[in-house]
A = this chain, B = another copy of it.
Amino acid sequence: MAKRDTPMLDELLKGPYPSFVKELYKVQERKPMVQDLLGQLEDSYEERIGHWKHGGIVGVMGYGGGVIGRYSDLQEKYPAVAHFHTMRINQPAAWFYTSDALRTLADIWEKHGSGLTNMHGSTGDIVLLGCKTDDLEPCFADLTAAGFDLGGSGSCMRTPSCCLGKARCEWACYDTMKLCYEFTQEFQDELHRPAFPYKFKFKFSGCPNDCVASIARADMSLIGTWKDEIQVDQAAVADYAKGGMDIVSDVVMNCPSKCIKYNGNGIEIDDHECVHCMHCINAMPKALAPGKERGATILLGSKAPIMEGALLSSVLVPFIDLNDEDEIEDLKELIGNIWDFWDEHGRNRERVGELIQRVGMATFLDGIGLDPEPEMVSAPRDNPYIFFQDEEEEEDDE
């Protein structure tokens, strides 16, 4: 039993949705940490205020991140949560597991921590919730022995994540899982040893539906797309119509670039006008599919609002064939250039997106060695405040 009654939390045992309080109850009898967590949380509910504080840096040897230090400000009342750190464990790509893998993780976390987890954290990690400082290193040893490693925290490359892509989705325009895994391995050092001005996140989505929200939540968003014609199976279109679908109002009218015609017989798409929004394909998955010349658009810079307001990623490379090893190498080089420029010019706690806003996209492009393209902007400037370069500078750019 918890040290104190938890009448407010117990209210949250009710109702059809799975209850996190029930999860706490599952372990509390064998975990004093969780008893104290329940107690402190009930206090929070009563008082309507949190009781955590951050404090000294904690972690495992040789790593600069992966652990979030957390301490109770009610240590005397709830000593078992005096330390209550989280460990971020790098998830397998697209969060696939076997039952064995899950049981292994359960065993390790039963042994070293609170037995509570987040499956998963918002960045994608397996979050092991509640560990004492002394348990961090042994827990880490058991995890690595089992083939798991820490994820990111602090000013480093953060744990990349991806949609399941080709593993179970017919729309994946490149191999998200492979690339996510490859990048994670390639940049292990950047992940574990914070050396950037601030965090840097990668998210890989196989198509413009963007099922890992990369355009809103990743410093670099790699979103699959295609260049050629949408693949159309007219017989299947006819089946949809027969099945009662109102193709005009459901599909034609919703096309943002008004480039679909439907004449009752077949569907006709003006692919040069298509903006690759996915809607028609989403609506008729059996009849339509992305084209065959597939790749991705690379976008840069999204983040949460602190401190200059939230950003969405914006187009950096309109189209890249991520199914081609050479182009992937080029991309890695570009990433290197971006990190170099950011290292040199970024302020402390300045994300890449904010850096671009501050120095200007054109200067940033010069710095990373990319040519400006009209696809990078929704419209050219509307103000006349152009900084003209000297002719020498211009030549330098070439």
Contact = CB atoms under 8 A, between A and B. Distances in A.
Contacts of A383: 305, 309-310
A259 to B, nearest CB: 14
A384 interface: yes
Q: How large is the interface on A (under 10, 10 to 19, 20 to 34, 35 or more residues)?
A: under 10
In the complex, the count of this chain's copies comes to: 2
Contact of A382 (B310, B382, B384, B385): B310
Contacts of A385: 305, 309
Contacts of A382: 309-310
Nearest to A304: B384
A382 B309 CA distance: 9
A385 B383 CA distance: 26
A110 B385 CA distance: 42
Interface in A373-398: 382-385
Interface in A281-329: 305, 309-310
Interface of A: 305, 309-310, 382-385
In the complex, the 7 A-B pairs of residues with the closest C-beta atoms, listed nearest first: A309-B383, A305-B383, A305-B384, A310-B383, A310-B382, A305-B385, A309-B385
8 contacts: A305-B383, A305-B384, A305-B385, A309-B382, A309-B383, A309-B385, A310-B382, A310-B383
Given A305-B384, A309-B385, A310-B382, 5 more contacts: A305-B383, A305-B385, A309-B382, A309-B383, A310-B383
